[in-house]
Amino acid sequence: MNKISIFSGALLASISSVCASSQQKPNIIFILCDDMGYGDLGCYGQKYISTPNIDRMAQEGMRFTQAYAGSPVSAPSRATIMTGQHSGHSHVRGNKEYWINVPLMKYGANDEYTVVGQEPYDPNHIILPEIMKKNGYTTGMFGKWAGGYEGSCSTPDKRGIDEYYGFICQFQAHLYYPNFLNRYSKSKGDTATIRITMDENIKYPMFGDDYKKRSQYSADLIHQEALKWIDSQDGNQPFYGFFTYTLPHAELVQPNDSILEHYKKKFFHDKTWGGSEDGRYNPSVHTHAEFAGMITRLDTYVGEILAKLKEKGLDENTIVIFSSDNGPHEEGGADPEFFGRDGKLRGLKRQCYEGGIRIPFIVRWPGKVKAGTVNDHQLAFYDIMPTFCELIGDRRFPKKYINKKLKGDCFDGVSFASTLLGDDTSQKKHDYLYWEFHETDQMAVRMGDWKLVVKKGVSYLYNLADDIHEDNDISTNHPEIIKQMIEIIKKEHKESDFFKVTLPL
């Protein structure tokens, strides 16, 4: 695995001349949704769900067909973006949860509140917002944090985020009418992450028949804060926005407005999901309509973001990226089979087959990224950090950011800036891509068209060139390829105390 990004001298010189001052550096907005499959958008072949704004974004930019999440599940996938490390090196490799009782004295109560956090990002390894800050960017994040818990060493205010609004509590992030959200705001003088209680919601239960009487839909609240943040940008300082919307993650619920009503009529004979005992999600009466409506609602958000950038005169100097954190889910009554949502790929969320990790990935940058381009470059989320560094002219990456005091500290990504700017001939390619996920005890390597999937230590080999659905295990026919790819796993896997997997023999 290449540990550093290889820059094209001519391309870097060109970018550096464009980014001579902080005012000329490109703004970046990365929109990351939750559990959207490769085939959930019209521009990727979806026939039942309307996504006109994202489809237009693809027409005006570059759509990737072989882009990969960092993991088949949320927290570790997002960690690969933040750290520039694949899931064999990063500290966060799973949705490990911490249930913590937080005193409510500072919130005006003499009680405790239970919050659910996830494994914090390693404070000794730099993460992407911190790098953007070092390059003169103002930073905003709106949505799911997934990198620590209240009071931990890794909360947004401690990791390079100027303005944050969303879910730090992982349990609350599973519900769209939560008890509270969190905010950290440098501009408002907040010196720590604070809890925003959903006052109109708290009098109704989080589960049961009265649940939908709650009126504050978290996805809309978070989106409105993101729009306000864009509106506050004056063009004098470059900005990086990471919008981590929870749509269309379960539960399947949203306001009963024109979007949902449209799909209720379209899917007249809909399915009902009755919930599960001790589950995290409320029952859903119109599962297909709810899911389709959630994606169209997200598409509306994307359209409003693009419109706001144009209104502010920031459109041409802002890179906008849209993607999903992993493949489609079946939680909360979601029905990927009905929508053909996996784009004819095998596997779902939590699986290292293509359906669990291959994701939509669209980049729009007017005048820089050629409109209407479809590209088959193989990239993974850990390539985003070096790509951003190259595009903003950061010559310090990676050497200056490696912590020599942290044993084995490294970066695994390869910049794909050349591809974005139309210079495929000088684009450095990965020798291979790597994944591991402890919950299902799976590992995977992609090397060219070869794909190795390891489940509980047993190896399966596929040739994606003629078997995109990974139906035909040809491991017995290619022992030399198996051996080579197992050696890659042994090289790239760093032992973790928290996230154990079974290595292949």
| DSSP string across 343-411 | TT-S--TT--SHHHHB--EEEE-TTTSPTTEEE---EEGGGHHHHHHHHTT-TTTTGGG--TTSTT---
In a domain, 369, yes or no: yes
State whether 457 and 323 are in the same domain.
Answer: no
- For residue 11, how many other CB atoms are within 10 A of its CB? 17
State whether 243 and 313 are in the same domain.
Answer: yes
Q: For residues 332 and 40, is the Cβ–Cβ distance under 8 A?
A: no
- Amino acid identity of residue 441, one-letter, is D
> Which pLDDT band holds residue 342 (cuts at 50, 70, 90)?
low
Strands 27-33 and 318-324: parallel
Instruction: Please state the rounded mean pLDDT for residues 2-29.
Output: 55
In a domain, 18, yes or no: no
pLDDT at 152: 92
Q: Could you report the per-residue pLDDT of 213-222, keeping only the tens digit for each?
A: 999 999 999 9
**How many domains does the chain contain in total?**
2
State whether 169 and 31 are in the same domain.
Answer: yes
Spatial separation of the C-alpha atoms in residues 59 and 55, rounded to whole Å: 6
Q: Is the model's pLDDT at 455 over the cut of 70?
A: yes
Point out the domain boundary residue: 355, 389, 423. Answer: 389
Which CATH number covers residue 490? Answer: 3.30.1120.10
Instruction: Please state the rounded mean pLDDT for residues 139-168.
Output: 96
Predicted TM-score (pTM) of this structure? 0.93
In the chain, the percentage of residues whose pLDDT exceeds 90 is: 81
Spatial separation of the C-alpha atoms in residues 282 and 284, rounded to whole Å: 6
CA-only gyration radius of the chain, Å: 22
State whether 252 and 159 are in the same domain.
Answer: yes
Cα angle: 260, vertex 264, 266; to 5 degrees: 115
pLDDT at 106: 42
Q: Is the model's pLDDT at 441 over the cut of 80?
A: yes
Which CATH number covers residue 163? Answer: 3.40.720.10
State whether 151 and 76 are in the same domain.
Answer: yes
In a domain, 289, yes or no: yes
State whether 212 and 279 are in the same domain.
Answer: yes
Cα angle: 70, vertex 275, 247; to 5 degrees: 40
Q: Any idea of the CA torsion for 309, 29, 173, 216, to the nearest 10 degrees?
A: -10
* Residue 370 vs residues 31, 53, 61, 375: alpha-carbon distances, Å: 20, 18, 6, 11
150 CB burial (10 A radius; 0-12, 13-18, 19+): buried
DSSP symbol at 40: S
In a domain, 257, yes or no: yes
State whether 472 and 375 are in the same domain.
Answer: no
In a domain, 431, yes or no: no
Spatial separation of the C-alpha atoms in residues 99 and 117, rounded to whole Å: 7
State whether 367 and 469 are in the same domain.
Answer: no
State whether 309 and 384 are in the same domain.
Answer: yes
Q: Could you report the per-residue pLDDT of 247-260, keeping only the tens digit for each?
A: 999 999 999 999 99
**H-type helices in 111-205, by residue range?**
128-134, 199-202
pLDDT at 116: 82
Q: Residue 233, SS3?
A: coil
Q: Which helix (H) or strand (E) holds 433?
A: strand 433-437
Residue numbers of the domain that contains 93: 27-389
Spatial separation of the C-alpha atoms in residues 445 and 447, rounded to whole Å: 6
State whether 143 and 217 are in the same domain.
Answer: yes
- For residue 400, how many other CB atoms are within 10 A of its CB? 11
pLDDT at 140: 98
Q: Residue 62, SS3?
A: strand
In a domain, 402, yes or no: no
pLDDT at 11: 46
**Residues ≥6 apart with Cβ < 8 Å to 410:** 3, 85, 89, 402
pLDDT at 296: 98
pLDDT at 100: 80
> Which pLDDT band holds residue 17 (cuts at 50, 70, 90)?
very low
- Amino acid identity of residue 8, one-letter, is S
Instruction: Please state the rounded mean pLDDT for residues 455-470.
Output: 97
* For residue 248, cis peptide bond before it (omega within 30 degrees of 0): yes
pLDDT at 230: 98
- Measure the N-to-C terminal CA separation of the chain; round to a whole number of Å: 20
Lowest mean pLDDT among 63-72, 171-180, 446-455: 171-180
pLDDT at 460: 98
Q: Is the model's pLDDT at 6 over the cut of 50?
A: no
Q: For residues 5 and 390, is the Cβ–Cβ distance under 8 A?
A: yes
Instruction: Please state the rounded mean pLDDT for residues 150-167.
Output: 96
pLDDT at 23: 53
State whether 385 and 445 are in the same domain.
Answer: no
In a domain, 230, yes or no: yes
The sign of the CA dihedral 252, 256, 260, 264 is: positive
In a domain, 273, yes or no: yes
State whether 355 and 446 are in the same domain.
Answer: no
